[in-house]
Amino acid sequence: MLLLKTTKSIEPQWKDWDRKAQKSGLRNTVYSINGDEYTGEWINNLMHGKGKYVYKKANAIYQGDWICGRRSGYGTFAVKDASTGEYIRVYAGNWINDKKHGAGTYYYSDDEYYEGSWESSKRSGWGKMFYANGDIYEGEWRSDKHCGLGKLYLANKNCYEGSWRNGLKHGPGKYYFFDTGRIYDGFWVKDIPKCGTLKAAGYSKALSTKRRLIPEVKVAEPKEVLEEVQRSILQKEKIRNSTTFPNHQPLSTS
């Protein structure tokens, strides 16, 4: 009887390494060849779920949601300050496919930031921009520029309200002059007023800041009033001197 000897097949070692390299679930920090670091959740060897990514070369960090290896969902992006070594937040908001998309706030500096809608990492939709010089714009945006309806509050308290195109006043709009209390109502083309009317707005800076003075109290005819008072005193003296008291007796000193 012939016996067949069976041998157990040995799996190549590279398959075992590849299986162990397939990351899924929560993992500790994983280092990339370029020095970047990721700590968080995985699925099918892709960053997926909650995680923190450190960009070595850019000295930046992202912490938030991931979907199939891309920043998607809500997350914050911060850059390291060279002087203090601390991370300073630059953007906080929504992401889609590694781009800022949806509602979010971007900090250009301590005095300048934007809060509103984003589309493909550009300000698009409705948003409010606070500029370092004190100006404030609130309205519609398209591709990082004022476009549509919006209101610009200038630092000198003048204001424009109306239509915009490519970051310029374009179309019907009103310009409010705070210092004179007037309004220009007209049509604009590429930031230049073409036709319109200038009228009073019903208020004035001068009137609003004018102090109410207490009127000075004066006597209309001071000489006549003084003579009248003197006559009244003399008349009272005459009446007192002419009055007699028959029953009056001097007081005894004894």
Residue-wise DSSP of 15-78: HHHHHHH---EEEEEEE-TTS-EEEEEEETTEEEEEEEEEETTTTEEEEEEEETTEEEEEEEEE
Q: Evaluate whether residue 224 is within a structural domain.
A: no
Q: Evaluate whether residue 96 is within a structural domain.
A: yes
| 233 has a pLDDT exceeding 80 | no
Cα dist from 131 to 43, 69, 87, 88, 169, whole Å: 42, 35, 23, 19, 17
Q: Evaluate whether residue 230 is within a structural domain.
A: no
Cα dist from 61 to 26, 155, 176, whole Å: 19, 35, 44
For residue 26, the model assigns a pLDDT of: 82
| 242 has a pLDDT exceeding 90 | no
Q: CA-CA distance, 57 to 149, in Å (whole number)?
A: 41
Q: Evaluate whether residue 117 is within a structural domain.
A: no
| 238 has a pLDDT exceeding 90 | no
| 243 has a pLDDT exceeding 50 | no
142 and 69 inside one domain: no
What residues have CB less than 8 Å from 231, skipping those under 6 apart?
Answer: none
Number of structural domains the chain divides into: 2
Q: Evaluate whether residue 79 is within a structural domain.
A: yes
3-state secondary structure of 156: coil
Encode pLDDT of 113-139 as tens digits. 999 999 999 999 999 999 999 999 999
97 and 136 inside one domain: no
Say which residue the tokens 């892709």 belong to. Answer: 46
101 and 28 inside one domain: yes
Q: Evaluate whether residue 169 is within a structural domain.
A: yes
β-pairing verdict for 25-31 and 192-200: unpaired
What residues have CB less than 8 Å from 159, skipping those under 6 apart?
Answer: 151, 152, 153, 175, 176, 178
129 neighbors 137 (Cβ within 8 angstroms): yes
For residue 218, the model assigns a pLDDT of: 47
Q: Provide the whole-model pTM.
A: 0.70
| 70 has a pLDDT exceeding 90 | yes
* CATH code, 51: 2.20.110
Q: Evaluate whether residue 172 is within a structural domain.
A: yes
The domain in which residue 184 lies consists of 131-212
Q: Evaluate whether residue 32 is within a structural domain.
A: yes
Local confidence band at 157 (pLDDT 50, 70, 90 cut-offs) = very high
34 and 103 inside one domain: yes
Encode pLDDT of 176-209 as tens digits. 999 888 999 999 999 999 999 998 876 444 333 3
Q: CA-CA distance, 66 to 62, in Å (whole number)?
A: 10
More confident residue, 22 or 70: 70
For residue 11, the model assigns a pLDDT of: 66
162 and 196 inside one domain: yes
82 and 144 inside one domain: no
195 and 139 inside one domain: yes
